[in-house]
């Protein structure tokens, strides 16, 4: 298989070219060494799957003894270490000589599948406001390809957009364990939490009127903050939650702080998180 078009021996000369290929298809980089027995056990599995998938992903083999600089750049301390690159960046990895079934499951999370076309169509429907139509398309896609986690996540997003929070939560619960901790899943779960919190809540103008009449109406303050989150006015939401922390740490078992942490989870590496986290900490100590 040395001349396979799907398997490449990586060197410092061709490394960048291999990584640039990840803008077209996933690139699996296997960090290995000749003295590593688990590496030698894993290698034929990866090579066989690269051939079987026929170009749906590329396999790059990087000898860490010969290319120590590249290995150091990616913090490789234990091998085998297999990193998957998309759009020039590592997005997933596994370590150790996994059995073939586990490696196949890992790859399937990232390679293109026939059902992905229907996912793309459904997401376009979702962007244009047709959430119900997106749900229909994704139900069809999940029936045809129930093991595609991208279908499952998109279906949960569409169900949430229709207001069916319970269905969205149940759909997310159906994700395989390896998918449940992904950042996009955590973000959607946080969104569902806020949608649930708004059940039966008053509209923003009414909440604002309540606060004007009684600035110590902490229930109105909390509901208004949650509504701002759902409306994606995150700065206003975080300001309100900080205000709730300042006024009443006992409200809802410190709901100001716990809800603020959920907003941080939603925003991920947004620079605002650091600023508001610092302000939150100043209220704790």
Catalytic residue IDs: 36, 39
Q: CA 148 to CA 171: how far, in whole Å?
A: 13
Give the whole-angstrom CA distance, residue 90 versus residue 62: 15
Strand ranges inside 87-180, DSSP E? 89-95
Residue 4 tokens read as 């396979």
Among 224, 160, 171, 164, smallest CA distance to 198 is for 224
- What is the C-alpha separation between 156 and 170, in angstroms, rounded? 8
- The DSSP string of 102-116 is HHHHHHHTTS--THH
Distance CA 18, CA 24 (A): 11
Q: How many CB atoms lie within 10 A of CB 13?
A: 7
CA 78 to chain centre: 25
Measured CA to CA, the distance from residue 157 to residue 191 in angstroms comes to 10
């Amino acid at each position: 298989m040395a001349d396979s078009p799907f398997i490449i021996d990586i060197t410092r000369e061709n490394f960048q070219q291999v990584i640039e290929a990840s803008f077209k298809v996933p690139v699996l980089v296997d960090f290995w060494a000749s003295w590593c027995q688990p590496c030698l056990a894993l290698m034929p599995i990866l090579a066989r799957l690269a051939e079987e998938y026929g170009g749906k992903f590329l396999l790059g083999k990087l000898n860490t003894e010969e290319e120590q600089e590249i290995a150091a750049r990616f913090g490789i301390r234990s091998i085998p270490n297999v990193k998957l690159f998309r759009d020039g960046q590592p997005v997933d990895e596994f370590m150790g000589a996994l059995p073939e079934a586990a490696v196949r499951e890992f790859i399937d999370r990232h390679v293109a599948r026939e059902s992905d076309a229907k996912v793309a169509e459904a997401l376009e429907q979702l962007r244009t406001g047709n959430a119900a139509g997106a749900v229909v398309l994704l139900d069809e896609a999940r029936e045809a390809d129930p093991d595609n986690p991208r279908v499952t996540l998109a279906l949960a997003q569409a169900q949430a957009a229709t207001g069916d929070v319970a269905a969205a939560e149940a759909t997310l619960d159906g994700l395989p364990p390896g998918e449940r901790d992904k950042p996009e899943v955590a973000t959607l779960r946080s969104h569902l939490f806020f949608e649930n919190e708004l059940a039966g809540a008053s509209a923003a103008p009414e909440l604002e009127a309540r606060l004007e009449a009684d600035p110590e109406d902490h229930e109105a303050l909390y509901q208004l903050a949650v509504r701002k989150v759902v409306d994606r006015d995150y700065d206003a939401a975080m300001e309100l939650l900080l205000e709730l922390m300042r006024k009443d740490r006992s409200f809802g078992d410190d709901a100001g702080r716990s809800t603020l942490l959920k907003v941080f989870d939603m925003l991920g590496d947004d620079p605002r998180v650091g600023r508001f986290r610092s302000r939150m900490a100043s209220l704790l100590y």
